[in-house]
Homo-oligomer: A and B are copies of this chain.
Amino acid sequence: MLKPDWIAVDWGTSNMRAWAMSASGSIMDEVRSDKGMGDLTPDQFEGALRDACADWNLTVPIIACGMVGARQGWVEAAYAAVPCPATPNGFTQPDSALDVHIIPGLMQADPADVMRGEETQIAGFLAMNKDWDGVICLPGTHTKWAHISADEVVSFQTYMTGDLFAAIGEHTVLRHSVQTDDWDADAFDAGVTDAMARPERIATRLFSLRAEGLVNNMTNATARARLSGLLIGAELAGAKPYWMGQQIAVIGAGNLTSLYVRALALQSAPATQVKGDAITLAGLTAAYRRLKG
């Protein structure tokens, strides 16, 4: 049986990852599970963790971030109100035989906003980039923009662009127009530029994608890329006070992150792309060190 010094857990809505860690911060082992928060009732989390980490000695501190701390999760972890440090204080412990510490999410009262999980990525990025000021963008179903100054999250803003893309592509009249695995990069760029110039016309530009198919034979690849460009372009128009003239880091892996970097480049706003995996673990490690004092 493996005996780590502590255990790091990233527990999201649809899956969970855990790392067996040494005190010095090196990875001894790693497991994944498809038992996400969305599949579990509060009394099932401990068993799911024991099952996933069956080969590890679990009598050590366990640091967890993500939706495990949501109202529907293991136990609701309080939100910390911004402005506050990205490496958060105030862990919440569920009623459990295990020594579990859940990292608080962040909240903002006005405009109302919340994050849960991304704060740990931000903390990890800042742990790896000392004295970094600027804006961090975390693309996803609900993309976050966070203004960072003096190691604090000053404010943040969430755009549900990914959620909108999925709902529009699958549950509106555009479902006939955007189903494809192909992609038209020029159409993406045109969509970004169009939405940046006229964000208020988004709902008519969307219908035009359907009409272009009917009257001008636009392909689904063009329509899909243009839909993505329109939605990300409208987001960049709204988030402009965040990224304009700032140092920008875009955290995440895969195609969506690359699209944000590309769209920002079209605005002459260079952004650094940072892969997300090591970042989350760095944030959990920073939280462990804070727990140990």
Residues of A within 8 A of B (CB): 71, 79, 107-109, 111-114, 141-142, 157-161, 163-164, 166-168, 170-174, 198-208, 210-212, 214-216, 218, 231, 234-235, 237-240
Contacts and interface: CB of A to CB of B under 8 A. Distances in A.
A114 B211 contact: yes
B203 A71 contact: no
Contacts of A170: 171
17 contacts: A107-B215, A108-B211, A111-B204, A113-B207, A142-B173, A163-B172, A163-B173, A164-B206, A166-B171, A170-B171, A199-B199, A200-B200, A201-B238, A202-B234, A202-B238, A203-B231, A204-B239
Given A111-B211, A112-B212, A198-B238, 8 more contacts: A71-B214, A111-B205, A142-B173, A157-B204, A164-B172, A164-B206, A166-B171, A171-B171
Interface core residue of A161, A198, A200, A211 (most chain B CB under 10 Å): A200
B207 A158 contact: yes
Contact of A216 (B109, B142, B211, B218): B109
Contacts of A239: 204
Given A71-B214, A114-B215, A142-B173, A207 B159 contact: yes
A170 B235 CA distance: 22
Nearest to A159: B203
Contact of A203 (B201, B212, B235): B235
A211 B214 CA distance: 39
A160 B142 contact: no
A157 B200 CA distance: 13
Nearest to A209: B112
A160 B199 CA distance: 15
B111 A158 contact: no
B164 A203 contact: yes
B168 A112 contact: no
Nearest to A206: B160
Contacts of A199: 199-200, 202
Query: Which 10 residue pairs spanning A and B have beta carbons closest together?
Result: A199-B200, A200-B237, A112-B211, A201-B238, A167-B171, A112-B212, A159-B203, A200-B238, A158-B207, A167-B167
